[in-house]
Structure 1
C-alpha cells in the first residue's frame, strides 16, 4: 500500500530552491524541462523552477511518440538549459543509437540531470559523445524527501558510472550490517542528520509507528533509505539498487546494477532483470532477459555466460537465464526486482504491485510462470 506521505511546504520549497539553484545552476530566464508524469516527484521539482524565475517546459503525452527522438527535438526547439530525464529514457536513446547533438541545435543545453535508476557507464559515454559538452549529473533522491541525496555537484568532476558527492546539507553515508561506515564496499544508504523535507508524518498513521518502521527501525535516529550504495574516498558513489533486491551469492553482496552493466552490454540483449530468492537453506538466482528480435536464445545464453565470467566472476552465473517478452518497469522506468522476487516466493500478483503503476502487468505473470517452469521448487 502507498505510504501516504505528508510533506511540509516550507521544507520542500527550501530543498527545491537549493537543488535548482546550487545543484542545477538554474537562473532567471533559463528553461527547465523535466520529463516525467505528474505522479513522479520530478514533476514537483519541475514546477519549482518557477521559484527561480525560470521558464518550465511541459510535455504532453508519451515522450517516445511518435519516435524516441521527440524529447531531444523539443529540448532543441525550446532552447532548454536544464534537461531532466529518467535513466530508462537515456538507456533507450543509447541503445537506439540516437545522435541528438548532431541532429539538433542543443547549444543552449548546459546540464542533463538523470535519475530514477542507476545510469550505466555506456550511457555516461553516450551523453558526452552523442549529446555534447554538457554537465551530466546523475542524481539519487526519493519521493520520501521530494529531493535528492546524492549527485549534482558543479565544483566536482564527473566520473564515468558514478554520482558526484552528496548534496549540500545531506549527511549521507554507507553503513555495513553492523552500523559502521564503509568506503569502497557496498553498504546501506543512510542519512545521519535531519533534512528539511523529511516527511512530517504518514496519512492514517496516528502513532507514527509505520513512519518509524519505514525509515528508523534498523538504526534508531538514523534514516535508512533502502538503497545499496558504495562510496569512494572522493565521496563519489554508485547506487547498486534497492537493498531489499540485493543479491547475496555465496555470501558476497552484489547489486543488480553490476549484473546489468555486464549483461546489457551483450549485443544480443535488449534489457535484463535479476533477482535472488532465499528458499530454505538454498538461494535461487534467475536472470530474465529481453532479447533483440531474431536472436537465437541458445547463442544469447552462451554469450551472457561468457560476459559474466569475464566481466564479473563465475560465482555470479545465474541459476537460469530465461528469455521473456520484455522487462517490467514502474511508469517512471524502474525495474520491478522486488515485486518479481515476491511473485517467485509465492505472493499473489495483486498483493505485490498495483497494475496501474506498471508499464505492463501481464509480463509479471509471464515472468512468474517462466520461473516456475525452470525451477519447480518455486512456491506455487
Structure 2
C-alpha cells in the first residue's frame, strides 16, 4: 500500500511529516478516503506508537470525507491535540452534512470545558440547548454529565450514567470511535470503583488505561489517581505513581498538573505516612496536614480554624489534631452523604477506630 517514493520511514527529522500529496497517495483509493480505523491499523503495522500518533495527527488534518472529519474530532481530543480539535470543529461546520454540524457543536462544548475551564453548570446548559439523537452524541452527553458530577465531587452520581453509556456504546458501529469511547468509559469506571472503595476493580481499569493511553496529560491524571488509590496500602507504591505523574506533567509543561501533584498529592501521601522531610505545600489544608504529621497539632489547629467553610478533609485534620470524635464523625458523614466517597471516608473512620 505504501509507495516507496513517499515512504514515511521515521519522524527523526530525516523526512518531513506527511503532507497532503503523501496522504492522498497513500490513503485515497479510487477517489475514496480510507476510513481512519483502517489507516491507523496500517500505520501501526509499520511504526512505533509515538510515530503513529504524530502521523495520525497529520492524517486527521488532511481528511476531507464527512465520516473521517467526524471521527477525527474524537481521535484528536482523546490524544490531547486540542488546538487541532478547534481546526476540525471549523472544518466540520463547513461541510454540507447536518451530522457533522451536530458533532462540531458538541465538541465545541467539550473543548470549551477543557481549554477555558468552563464551569459544570455552564457547559451542561450549553449541552442541553443542542438536539442530540445520534448514539455517539448521546454517549458524549453522558460523559459530560459524568465529568460535571466529578468536578462537583458528587461521585455517587457517576453510577447513574454507567448503564446508558454501556448501552449506547454497544450500538456504535464505527470501530475507532468505539475503541476511543471504551477508554473514556474505563476512566469513568476507574473513578467509580475508586470512590466506592473497590480497589481491585479500580486498579484493573487504571493499569488498563496506562497500557492503552498515549495522551501524556491523561497518563498524568491516571498516575495521580493511582497514587492516591494506594495511600492506605504502601507509601512507596503511592509515591512511585505520584512521581511518575509529576515527571510526565513536567515533560509536557502541564503547569496545573505540576501544581496539583506538588501541592496536594505528594504532601497528602507524605503526611499520611509521616514521611515529611523536605515536603512543603502552598495549600493551607495540606500545610496543616504536614504539621499534624510532624506532631505540631497546635499549628494544624490554628491553620484549619481560620478556614471558614471546611471540607471533609479539613474537618478530618482538625478532628485528628484535637482528638475530637464528634468532628471525625461529622467528617465521615460528610464524605458519605455529600460526596459518596467511601474511599476517603476511611480517613476519619480509621482515626475513630484508633481513638476507640
Q: TM-score, normalised by structure 1?
A: 0.27
Higher strand share: 1
RCO (CA 8 Å, sep 6+): is it higher in 1 or 2?
A: 1
Q: Which has the larger radius of gyration?
A: 2
